[in-house]
Amino acid sequence: MALDLLILDEYFYTMKKLSLILLSILALTLVSCKKDNVNPDKPKSIEDLQISANFDWKTTQNVSVLIQGLQVPVSVSRTVYIASPEGQEFYKGMQAINANMTYNLVVPAYLREVKVSFGTISKTLPIRNGIVAFDYIPDLPQTDN
């Protein structure tokens, strides 16, 4: 009987120690989950915001579309379309194929290319330094022949 009490006493002592260890681990885990204060200088109102001096507030950009005329013996005129790649139209008008033209447009600032179409000729061209250059020569597929 004394042996049974000794074994039972040791069992409770071991369980008490194990419970204390698990409780300590749980407490450390909960304490370490505290959210860090990433931005202690968070502005209290809109007037407190600091904006960089070189931030561009414009939502549009000026783009010049230069059309290089093609010298042909016959006068050909078609409708020229200038649009975003998604189809938002910026300009539509008649254009003679042999005339050099410049169209100054205001387009969204996020745009990096425009689509220019003349009859069956259609090209998506990049905007580089506010300029898009279009010619009537079709892009041919690259081949190794």
User: Tens of pLDDT along 85-94?
Assistant: 999 999 999 9
Short-list 54, 56, 64, 50, CA closest to 110: 56
CA dist 120 and 142 (Å) reads: 20
pLDDT at residue 111, rounded to an integer: 95
Amino acid making up residue 76? V
pLDDT of residue 1: 60
CA–CA separation, 42 and 97 (whole Å): 59
Chain segment 64-115, per-residue pLDDT in tens: 999 999 888 888 899 999 999 999 999 999 999 999 999 999 999 999 999 9
Mean pLDDT within 40-67: 85
- The pairing of beta strand 121-126 with beta strand 101-108: unpaired
pLDDT digits (tens, 9 = 90+) for 7-38: 666 777 787 888 888 888 887 777 766 666 66
Phi-psi region of 129 (alpha: psi -120 to 50; beta: other; left: phi over 0): left
**Tokens at 2, concatenated:** 């004394």
